Chains A and B, each alone.
Chain A
Amino acid sequence: MLFGVQYWPRIYCKLSSLKSLLRLYCFFLYFHWRMKFTIQINTGPYTHQASDTAYHFTRAALKAGHTIHRIFFYHDGVNNSSIFNVPPRDERNIQQLWSTLAEENSLDMVVCAASAQRRGILDQKEADRHAKPAANIAPNFAISGLGQLIEAAIVSDRLLIFGD
């Protein structure tokens, strides 16, 4: 006789209830453990992969059911929002990817005002105010202040920073 064989059914019972508890817990996590993320992007398109990585992260997070509270473009990251970028046809257009993603998921995409003005990212109002020939901010991007970043950091579970 194997040692303790008479206890096997009881052990099995215990194990199976543990298993079902674990399954319940996983079920709970899967349906209830949702995070609220804010994404900060510090580098421009094409030179570094940071903006692409942030884009893929955002898509994956949304697909997994998480919330994206805001996407904040800071420093050279504001260049992601220029509609004047014309990459070769067979390459990804990072600005278009962001605009489309925002359109489909009603994302709040904010471009830092001070960073944008330094780098020539203007909406129509700013272009008129500074007598510039055109506005160049792409659809679904909005120019706003750093307060939007701080507010997002306060209300989000995690702030993720991509780029330098």
Chain B
Amino acid sequence: MSVSKSFVCINRKAPYGTIYALEALEVVLIAGAFEQQVKLIFMDDGVYQLTRNQNPAGIGMKNFSKTFGALSDYDVDQIFVDSESLNLRGLDATDLQRLTHETNDAEERLSIKVVPRKELVDIIESADVLFNF
């Protein structure tokens, strides 16, 4: 399909407790497979989805956080994290996974950007299709 739209997916829920975080990742991967421009926003409890060293074995859940590493294979390399949400939860960028992607000249870049909430407004406004999980 030649049409390319701007997809923005807002993730607001903790990784476990509801199925939404897992499903959001599915939607994003498929949108990436359709060669759409996909941006991800993590805010509120959604910031927990990106934390390192998750171990949900105690609640009988599968750790799906490693799947975020596959996002760059689908050219999903613009991930925005709301700094206020991080601060409120006593987290900072070092608590998050180190996700990278390669630029056209084979340079390694970080995919995750911690941004103030104000900047998220423009990203959301630029979306053709908005998913809110």
Q: Which residues of A contact B (CB under 8 A)?
A: 74-75, 114-115, 145-147, 149-151, 153-155, 159, 161, 164
Contacts and interface: CB of A to CB of B under 8 A. Distances in A.
A147 B27 contact: no
B30 A114 contact: no
11 contacts: A75-B23, A115-B23, A146-B26, A146-B27, A147-B33, A153-B129, A154-B1, A154-B5, A154-B34, A154-B36, A161-B132
Interface of B: 1, 3, 5, 7, 19-20, 23, 26-27, 30-31, 33-34, 36, 129, 131-132
A74 B129 CA distance: 17
B13 to A, nearest CB: 10
A164 to B, nearest CB: 8
A149 B34 contact: no
A112 B79 CA distance: 26
Nearest to B31: A150
B39 to A, nearest CB: 14
A45 B39 CA distance: 32
Contacts of B129: 153-154, 159
Contact of B30 (A115, A150, A161, A164): A150
Given A75-B19, A75-B20, A114-B26, 8 more contacts: A147-B34, A149-B30, A150-B27, A150-B31, A151-B34, A153-B31, A154-B36, A154-B129
A153 B26 contact: no
A149 B27 contact: yes
B62 to A, nearest CB: 13
Contact of A153 (B7, B19, B20, B33): B7
A155 B23 contact: no
Contacts of A159: 129
Contacts of B20: 75, 164
Nearest to B130: A159
Nearest to A164: B20
Interface centre among A75, A114, A153, A161 (most CB of B within 10 A): A153
